[in-house]
Chain A
Amino acid sequence: MALAVKPKAQAHRNIWRTPRSKASWLWLLLCILLYGVIFAWYLSAIHTQSFAGPLAEPLRTFGIIAFVLVLATASYSLRRRFVRGLPGKAQDWLWMHTWIGITALLIAFLHENYAHIFHDYCTDLSCFTQAEGGTSALFALLFLVVSGLVGRFLDRRQTQIIAQEANTNGVGIIKAAEERLLELEYTIERLCAGKSEQFKQYATPVLEHQRQLPSTMPALSTGEQKDFQKLQETLRQYISLRQSLHKQKRAVQTIRIWRCVHMVLACVALIIILFHGGMELLTNVLHLSP
């Protein structure tokens, strides 16, 4: 059964308030606490140390924390795609992914002491390869987080479009709209069956993706007039529903494309960050590499 209530007012508004996950607030609070502590530590180091760099404590520790947070952020993919038996709702994990991802970037900024962001801007490509690709890792994380935030914004906008269309097209979401379109096509074909060529030609362009009813009215016999009125009404519904379906599909497509972009970026960023983290671990912590 698919049925939508056609509201009289076209302005879209959230009629029913839906519950929000408590986990979003919990993770936000934890991240604020973590960042607050680390930022206080950072301020204290800035004021007490003559030089604060990524290789010196405590900024080096900030790098390690940021690295761990990046891994924690990536664990969302693990819960979402592979280990679905992990406890908690997927949406709670997504909130964890969102807030920890942002916190990881902010802590990574502290690790670099905001170099390349607010000062010491990169002037050539060698900037991206120095310190075992540290700058590349920072920018990869930055782009990744920005892509996530853009994606969140896009999600909100596109879901609003879909909700608006589903609520006003009289049928519902894509699945229901596709089924209804098929029914309307059958109805149009049934109405056209056994009718004159002019009658059929009036309907054909609409079925072939014309966006408006043909402006020229065909000369029809009296016997076809009644069915022609029905045909016009059906074609109007068909056009309107097809446009709605198109908008919904475009919105879903936008959401999916963003997801692909975000996932590709995530893979690239993770490789760069893992390289940087691994090499730093080998050279500056374990002193295994020259």
Chain B
Amino acid sequence: MQDKKMLPIIGIQHRHDVRPFTEEEVRFEIDMCIGCDRCMRACPVPMSSTVTIADLNKATITDDVPAHVARFTDECVMCGSCVPVCPVDNHRDLLMLSLKQRLGISWDGQVDMNRIFNYLPPGWNVPGLLNSLREQPMFNDPQLIPDNYLLHLVATSKLLTLLPGAVILNEGEYGRALYLILEGHIELFSAGADGQQLLVAILRPGEYLGEHGMMTGQPRNATARTQTAVVVLEVPEQVMQRLMEIVPAVQTFFEKLSTIRSLEAILKNMALFQDVSDIDIRQLAEQAEVGHFERDEYLFGEESDRKPAREMLHVLLDGFVKVSRITQAGTGRNKTDERIIAYRQRGDYFAGGLDLLGDGRSVTVRAITRARAAKVSHQALLTLFARYPEVGYRFQARSQQYVESAAAAQTATFDLLKQDNTATMQVHSDPAARAGLRALVGGGVIEGTEVLVIDLEKCIHCNECEEACARRHGHSRMNRKGMVIGNISIATACRQCQDPVCMLCSRAGIARHPSGEVYITDSCIGCGICAERCPYDNISIMTLEDEDEGDTSMSLQRFGSFFTKGSGKERGGKMLPMAQTQAASGPLSTHLPADPVSEMRKKVAIKCDLCAGYENQACVQACPTGAAFRVQPTQFFGSTEDILRQRTV
């Protein structure tokens, strides 16, 4: 066997904590296996039904790897479904990782050239295509990215030939595909203040578009229209992610680009950096380090080991964070050891680990959603202060201003509604409303774009919403229970988050419509990675065998319910989608479909997609009292800024 340290670990972005087995551990685990086959039965990968545990064990410890085992290993998504069912506590997932490592990266293997030849526009050939791709700044080093990787990239992407005037991207729509321009010119437009389309740039071969959506998951920030006849390579998000895993330099390239652009935009808008030249702002942005923080992860803390260096500037690029101070044991909110001071979001900053609260004491900052922060070093700031002394004075003045505000705040009473834009705020200024706002922020409701809420003062608990959902989709995608804030209950149904952490599927089993609805695609195999990642338990996994059995045993109940609940279908009612269909292959798959039985999915993820494709939402439509309705949280509860501006002392 090869040295494990040299082997890359690909396709397990969702499992940062994984530690590959040593050779001894692999042999020990294989010796432990009793061959009961439970792991294979629990495995959601459709073709697991064609692989026996004996084949798999043999392949794991010998060089004899049959083709079907190799394919199964390639398709394994490392979901870990096989682990809890093992009667001898084997870690089959780590054994699979070991096998994956031995088999190597699939992109090192042969490319299906037929796919590429099928795509090639007339007059193009493979060397010409590769030359065009090499014009891209991130692909120009053949040592880093060999031709074979580029060919795999092309084989798993789409080569589009477009006529002049064709729209590639629309501003405001969601999408994560990256477009590499191989030929022709593309115009970028952005909507001006009056809604008119303003030409922002003209992109040429060797340039790319869509990287903002790919990196941040945010809606497209410009409209792209072809100026001439154009050849572009549309690279799916999953393919780009795979390339970034294999070649981290590509990831660094895009991350740096994204960080610089975001930080530049934020710094330019900050009054502190007024009159600083664009070149200097860009230089400052280029020097910044970026940090990615998962939910509940510390950005920094008050303790000496977490405390950042003095005069270091932290700027929030994405996400929301909670600012708190450690209290004496159990004296904080809800008897915790922390007292929440404030919530901060994109564009806010911390100087030297201090929130600009004015008391000069450091704070603890934790991410409440997935967050990204740029760290500008002490040295870079001092250099800027030397060049622009007024910026340094502004920092001092701002600090003084906050000290004075903090002193004034000791005697003032903050009122929730004493703001200019109270029209959007529908809350009363009382402790319950403030507690509600805290829960909305803390519970991640403001992260959503469409939230199903139930007014408990109107809800008669007839369960018609869940039943209507089940009638339309075959299985209810919602649950009425959820966070209760005043008279409002936030139902357990997908909130279509602004930055959905669930969308990390190597098979592209979960995707987002341009209009924002996150939905389960035909490629879903129900591995549960998305469900595990959803912090709000809004995705469930359904075993399709259970669904079939349930259908037959329920016929008597259905007969009985005719008299109590009536009959009739929700408009467009149908069986659970995808229940009877084969799982479509993901964008990374290079295999030809096997026989239909081995492609039949065993499980499927279930989540609310706002009834995408229907003209209305079944739950809202069926509620007899109007208690259930969909809202955009920032509009209904007040804007995020309104919510986050509240000091929650």
- Which residues of A are interface residues toward B (Cβ below 8 A)? 1-9, 13-21, 77, 80-85, 89-91, 93-94, 155-156, 158-160, 162-163, 166-167, 172-176, 179, 252, 255
Contacts and interface: CB of A to CB of B under 8 A. Distances in A.
B458 A175 contact: no
Contact of B432 (A2, A5, A18, A158): A5
A249 to B, nearest CB: 10
21 contacts: A4-B483, A5-B485, A9-B430, A13-B486, A14-B486, A15-B485, A16-B426, A16-B427, A16-B486, A18-B487, A18-B627, A19-B626, A82-B568, A84-B571, A91-B624, A159-B459, A159-B460, A163-B459, A173-B481, A255-B460, A255-B461
B484 A4 contact: yes
Contacts of A175: 479-481
B482 A172 contact: yes
Nearest to B636: A16
A101 B147 CA distance: 76
Contact of A82 (B458, B471, B566, B620): B566
A89 B468 CA distance: 12
A2 B488 contact: no
A52 to B, nearest CB: 39
A20 B629 CA distance: 10
Contacts of A83: 568
Nearest to B460: A255
A1 B483 contact: yes
B487 A163 contact: yes
Contacts of B623: 89-91
A2 B428 contact: no
Interface string B432-471: 1101101100010000000001011111110010001001
Given A8-B435, A15-B433, 11 more contacts: A1-B443, A2-B482, A2-B483, A4-B484, A14-B457, A16-B426, A16-B436, A82-B568, A85-B570, A159-B460, A174-B461
A166 B456 contact: yes
B565 interface: yes
A18 B455 contact: yes
Nearest to B563: A81
B385 interface: no
Given A15-B427, A173-B461, A84 B569 contact: yes
Contacts of A90: 464, 621-624
Nearest to A158: B460
Given A80-B624, A162-B459, A14 B537 contact: no
B483 A172 contact: yes
B174 interface: no
A3 B443 contact: yes
Contacts of A160: 457
Contacts of B485: 4-5, 15-16, 167
The list of the 6 closest CB pairs from A to B, nearest first, reads A81-B566, A15-B486, A163-B456, A7-B432, A4-B484, A91-B626
A16 B637 contact: yes
Contacts of B436: 5, 15-16
A175 B484 CA distance: 13
B405 interface: no
A81 B567 contact: yes
B345 interface: no
A146 to B, nearest CB: 19
Interface in B131-148: none
B482 A1 contact: yes
Interface string B274-318: 000000000000000000000000000000000000000000000
Contacts of A6: 435
Contacts of B571: 84-85
Contacts of B492: 1
A5 B484 contact: yes
A172 B570 contact: no
B431 interface: yes
A89 B620 contact: yes
A19 B455 CA distance: 10
Nearest to A163: B456
Looking at A20, A83, A89, the one whose CB has the most chain B CB atoms below 10 A away is A89
B489 interface: yes
Nearest to A84: B568
Contact of B481 (A156, A167, A172): A172
Contact of A14 (B460, B482, B487): B487
A9 B431 contact: yes
Given A13-B432, A82-B567, A159 B456 contact: yes
A163 B457 contact: yes
A166 B566 contact: no
A252 B462 CA distance: 9
Contacts of B487: 14-16, 18, 163, 167
Contacts of A20: 626
B459 A17 contact: no
A255 B636 CA distance: 29
Contacts of B426: 16-17
Nearest to A154: B460
Looking at B436, B468, B537, the one whose CB has the most chain A CB atoms below 10 A away is B436
A83 B432 CA distance: 42
B269 interface: no
B252 interface: no
A155 B430 CA distance: 27
A88 to B, nearest CB: 8
A282 to B, nearest CB: 31
B536 interface: yes
Looking at A16, A81, A252, the one whose CB has the most chain B CB atoms below 10 A away is A16
B453 to A, nearest CB: 8
B458 A18 contact: yes
B379 interface: no
Contacts of A93: 624
A159 B623 CA distance: 14
